[in-house]
Chain A
Amino acid sequence: MTETFAVCGGLAVLFAAAALFQKTLYGAAMCLLGVLLETAVLFILLGSPLLGFLQVLVYAGAVMVLVVIAILASPPKLSGRWAELNVPRPVAWLAPLAAFAGLMAAGQSLGGVHALPQAGPALERAMARLLFGPWALATEAVGVLVLIASLSVLKEDA
């Protein structure tokens, strides 16, 4: 199980790296789609198919649609991939590398779990009970948030 996870995780990282180096935004969006799908697979591997399903539905579905629409709505001409930074380009690359290194260093004390833990349907049921029970307010709030967010798409003169 862990090996499968490693492979899928590696794929996700590959897709992400590919997205970073894409010349066009459209290409980056497509690679992002790949990452999101892989993440759904990772969720399923972790024993929570519900979450994987929702990931595909919301992210790979709705969010990607939005992103693609935004990209298509802008003119195809791009002035370049990379931004102009004050620091020279190699140094600029150091930042994400350092972020990775920092996170890895933070995770040094890990290594306690050997097998991939599974969430399981019982946990999912408990989650559902939690969401519509004690955390009902939070659930409703997020729902309202999504609704309000959709209002932002409307034009000004509306």
Chain B
Amino acid sequence: MNAECVVWTTASALFAVGAGFIVLRRQLVAMIIGVELMVNAANILIVFTAARRGDPAGLAVALLTLAAAAAEVVVGLSLIMSMRRGEDEVPETQTLRGMAG
């Protein structure tokens, strides 16, 4: 079994599922989850390549990406929560329709 193929397939599958979240699910929080999945898939690949090449820069990038993605989740979620207009509404992509254009 080829290690590279396995790693690549895993990362691709995770990425595709993350893309599926964004395309298919209704709620905005689901989109955040999708982004998280995609970032993680990329991270796996970066760490694998760093380990393969013995390049510390790769690991450093993976770490920084981790931190940046965390910050992004914070901002995104706070935006979503501030969008709530009434008590009954869940922020969905449909509610963004008025903001289109």
Which A residues have a C-beta under 8 Å from some C-beta of B? 1-3, 5-6, 9-10, 12-13, 16-17, 19-20, 25, 28-29, 32, 35-36, 39, 42-43, 46-48, 51, 54-55, 58-59, 62-63, 66-67, 69-71, 73-75, 77-85, 92-93, 95-97, 99-100, 103-104, 107, 110-120, 123-124, 126-127, 129-131, 135, 138-139, 142-143, 145-146, 148-150, 152-153, 156
User: What are 25 A-to-B residue pairs whose CB atoms are below 8 Å?
Assistant: A2-B2, A5-B3, A5-B10, A9-B6, A16-B18, A32-B37, A39-B40, A43-B47, A46-B51, A47-B51, A51-B63, A62-B70, A75-B89, A77-B90, A82-B24, A104-B12, A110-B5, A111-B2, A111-B4, A123-B50, A124-B59, A148-B71, A149-B72, A149-B74, A152-B78
B46 to chain A, nearest CB (A): 10
B68 to chain A, nearest CB (A): 6
Question: With a CB–CB cut-off of 8 A, which chain A residues contact B33?
Answer: 19, 28-29, 32, 67
Q: Across the interface, do B40 and A36 meet the contact criterion of CB distance under 8 Å?
A: yes
Question: With a CB–CB cut-off of 8 A, which chain A residues contact B48?
Answer: 46, 117
Complex Cα spacing A15 to B6, Å: 17
Nearest neighbor of A87 in chain B, beta-carbon distance: B23
Chain B interface size, under 10 / 10 to 19 / 20 to 34 / 35 or more: 35 or more
Question: With a CB–CB cut-off of 8 A, which chain B residues contact A70?
Answer: 29, 32, 77, 80-81
A47, A73, A119, A123 pick with most chain B CB within 10 angstroms: A119
**Contact check: which of B10, B69, B75, B94 meets A84 at CB < 8 Å?**
B94
Chain A interface mostly helix, strand, loop or mixed?
Answer: helix
Q: A70-B29, A74-B84, A79-B26 are in contact. Are A111 and B62 (CB under 8 A)?
A: no
A90 to chain B, nearest CB (A): 11
Complex Cα spacing A116 to B49, Å: 11
Question: With a CB–CB cut-off of 8 A, which chain B residues contact A51?
Answer: 47, 59, 62-63, 66
Complex Cα spacing A65 to B72, Å: 14
Question: With a CB–CB cut-off of 8 A, which chain A residues contact B8?
Answer: 103-104, 107, 110
Q: Across the interface, do B16 and A3 meet the contact criterion of CB distance under 8 Å?
A: no
Which B residues have a C-beta under 8 Å from some C-beta of A? 1-21, 23-27, 29-30, 32-33, 36-37, 40, 43-44, 47-48, 50-52, 54, 56-57, 59-60, 62-64, 66-75, 77-82, 84, 87-94
B17, B18, B57, B79 pick with most chain A CB within 10 angstroms: B17
Q: Across the interface, do A25 and B29 meet the contact criterion of CB distance under 8 Å?
A: yes
